[in-house]
Amino acid sequence: MKVLKFGGTSVANAQNIKLVLEIVKQNSKGEKLAVVVSALSKVTDLLQLAAAKAAANDESFREIVAEIEKKHLDTLKELIPVSEQSSLLSHIKRIINHLETLLDGCFLLGELSPRTADTILSFGELLSSYIIAQAYQQIDKNAAYKDSREIIKTNNNFGKAAVNFEISNQLIQEYFAENQSQINILPGFIALTLDGITTTLGRGGSDYTAAIIAGALDATQLEIWTDVNGMFTANPKVVKQAHPIPTISYQEAMELSHFGAKVLYPPTIQPVLRKNIPILIKNTFEPEAAGTLITNQAPANGTAVRGISHIDNISLLTLEGPGMIGVAGSSRRLFEVLSHEKINVIFITQASSEHSICIGILNSDADNAEAAINKAFEIEISQNKIDPCIVEKNLCIIALVGENMKNHQGLSGRMFSTLGKNNVNIRAIAQGASERNISAVINERDVKKALNTLHENFFEENTKQLNLFVMGVGNVGEKFIEQIHNQRKFLKENLKINVRVIALSNSRKMLFDEDGISLKEWQAALDNGETANKEDFITRAKELNLRNSIFVDITANASVSETYEQFLKQSIAVVTCNKIACSSAFDNYKKLKSLSRQYNAPFLFETNVGAGLPIIDTVKNLIASGDKVHKIQAVLSGSLNFIFNNFDKNNSFHDVVKEAGVQGFTEPDPKIDLSGIDVARKILILIRESGYEMDIDAIANESFLPAECLATINNEDFFASLIKHAPHFEKIYEEALAKDSRLKYVAQFENGKASVGLQFIPKDHPFYNLEGKDNIVLFYTDRYVDQPLLIKGAGAGAAVTASGIFADVIRIGNV
């Protein structure tokens, strides 16, 4: 014999009930069935609300009763042929009338006793089971209806009655021995005292009813039919990558269900566990899916961690003080207080010093618990031996669960390291001696990030999801998005990195999508996005609180560079090609580097110098390995190198600068490049990364631009001034020609001094043959004395800059 239980969503309406009837029909072939059903979806909530309103003398409870009546009558009419409806509709109305009489009593008395509440709540299952039984009898007359109250007996602990198994088992066995029907349909959740008073079995009571019957009858299997494909590795509504667990042990299932896996009510397992009756979790809406099989042992080759679960709305209460050290009975007194107040303790941890003890309870119990504890220990508190109870609300408990965790070393460290890397602060920790569960209390705002991070680490073959917030999608930004789109499959398959763009922004519009923006038509989506707002962009990124978040700045905007601190303090990594932050005041530069370390948030800016060339990374490796940089010589502006390589008697200086802009080699404001400030920033960054303290005003900037050109305030005036001063630039070119040299804009650092400026480079110099937009850097160090370390390559252009930014993102993915 099998026992099947169908939950509220499975019997939510006539359409769903038809699916249930077909499942029962398929399972009944050659085997007797006991079918336990819940109330129609949301009906129990409506009954609770009606009872509360009636007890509060609120006449609107009658509207709720009318809604409940209509819901059941409509369901019955859709399931039963018109010719068979009359007597059945009358029966439903008699039940509803009885319900309304009870609620009228609550209204007149202005109270709702636990006993009356149980009777009122029982109507949901009584109505649904009656309708479903009548509907199935239209298919198969060999089906019977049985009121569970007649065979399950409890004490009078209304709201969560305790079952008298000795009497109940006997009654269940007698009924099914005498009844020859192939199908028996019963209401879940409800029972009866020995005095004949209706009781309920608590939250998830329909699961419990099914397990009680299965245990009493030594059923071959208990099937729990719900709206998901079994127990998942994590809550699939929070963790999109979660997947069903094929098989799991009773103990693992109890741990997961206790910690919020709502497909199974924890006490359900007890009656079947003693008999080793397997439980199968199935999906009513996908009956062909395998589901989850719960048995008496975990698979031998299963993973150490079987699932990750959590409990929301937790408060942490801490009782501490020197008066607890070595004093026997402090813990007993604490738990007696909570027991007296009927407060359930969900989480416990105590240090071996006995100085403090922490407990986790529901938020709804926190105020009551705090008052009761302070009263119980008021003498010790008044004598300053114990501090008043400390209460922290709005927390959450997350738990790793697995039967085989005890055989694996380092799981706790891996769990806490994973959370720490994403700035998830742990308030308390607990692990039982069985090592089947590792629990941690965290802030509820971090729960989504924590669950996704842990799931990624333990269940997704170490695939790391990177969530990007990109500001600036001009020439470089477009290339960056294109590169991500083209490489996503490669990254996922070969590097186990899943890159998602969560947000995009330009100066006009911004676009957010928590599930990741489609990179095929992102331009059109951004054009239809909301008005760009830097502060809102930052706030949204913080509020989403996604794991492995990276802010990517592809602007040259000073105000954007000032936001890095906010991101780093939220453990959001920063990748930037914007040189302003790292060339700002030295104290700010050091602060950003310090915040990066403090909050474990990478701060990468390889493209600040040399676009896609590995210049900064090389300097970092030199310093880390113990080398010391003494001298730097460099051509660091790809745009200026392009300009002076193409400027000759056939191409005016004005025209070449224009062309550099068209090809994307200069900043939107070309004066930033031509004034030398951009090169000064770059050499300053290299100096700082080499371990020296310097600010931008210490760098001598020997500008080749006339003062009038430097004084212009817009591009139009600037280009006009280049035409006006054409003779000046031609003179410089002629002088280089006369010296048989080439013009290069050079940055230098030596003996603590730095400068940038235009130089005449002779033929025997390494810079002479530097073509196009290339950069070159020479590092003279303790190890590279006579022959410098040389790095050379393309140092400008949208594609190479984008590739440098992309490389920094991948570096973070590989951490």
The amino acid that residue 4 corresponds to is L
Strands across the sheet containing 426-431: 347-350, 356-362, 307-320, 390-401, 437-443, 426-431
**Cβ density class 344-375: b for 16+ within 10 Å, e for less:** ebbbebbeeebebbbbbbbeebbeebbebbbe
In the beta sheet, which residues pair with residue 183? 33, 143
Strand-pair category, 699-702 with 753-761: parallel
Residues 64 and 234: beta-carbon distance below 8 Å: no
Nearest to 415 by CA among 555, 304, 573, 335: 304
CB 380 within 8 A of CB 359: no
Note the Cα 411 to chain centre separation in Å: 20
d(CA 7, CA 23): 14
Residue type, 109: L
Token reading at 532: 């760009």
Backbone angles phi, psi at 194, to 5 degrees: -65, -20
Residue (of 123, 128, 133, 113) closest to 65 by Cα position:
123
**C-alpha distance from residue 608 to each of 198, 444, 641, 802 (Å):** 74, 38, 17, 12
DSSP label at 232? B
Q: Give the phi and the psi of residue 771 in degrees, each rounded to 5.
A: -100, 170
Report yes or no: 36 and 5 within 8 Å, Cβ to Cβ.
Answer: yes
Residues 6+ apart with CB under 8 A from 27: 2, 4, 33, 223
Alpha-carbon gap, residue 84 to 89, rounded angstroms: 9
Closest C-alpha among 183, 697, 802 to residue 482: 802
Q: How far apart are the first and last CA of the chain?
A: 54
Residues 6 or more apart whose CB falls under 8 angstroms from that of 586 comprise 688, 693, 694, 695
3-state helix, strand, coil in the chain (%, to 5): 45, 20, 35
User: Which one of the listed residues 682, 724, 731, 744 is annotated catalytic?
Assistant: 682
Reported for 767-772, long-range contacts at CB under 8 A and 24+ positions apart, including other chains, are: 767/633, 767/635, 767/742, 768/741, 768/742, 768/744, 770/635, 770/641, 770/645, 770/744, 771/645, 772/641, 772/642, 772/645
Residue 682 known to be catalytic: yes
CB 636 within 8 A of CB 679: yes
**Contact predicate 40/71, CB 8 Å:** yes
Burial per residue of 152-180, b for 16 or more beta-carbon CB atoms within 10 angstroms, e otherwise: bbbeeebebbebbbeebbeebeebbeeee
CA–CA gap between residue 1 and residue 220 (Å, rounded): 6
Q: Residues of 591-607 as b/e, b for ≥16 C-beta within 10 angstroms?
A: bbeebbeebebbbbbbb
Identify the CA nearest to 499 among candidates 557, 571, 564, 573.
Answer: 573
Q: Tell me the sheet residues that pair with 247.
A: 293
Give the span between the Cα atoms of 398 and 159, in whole angstroms: 28
CA–CA distance from 392 to each of 49, 320, 359, 428, 663 (Å)?
Answer: 30, 14, 11, 11, 58
Active site residues: 682
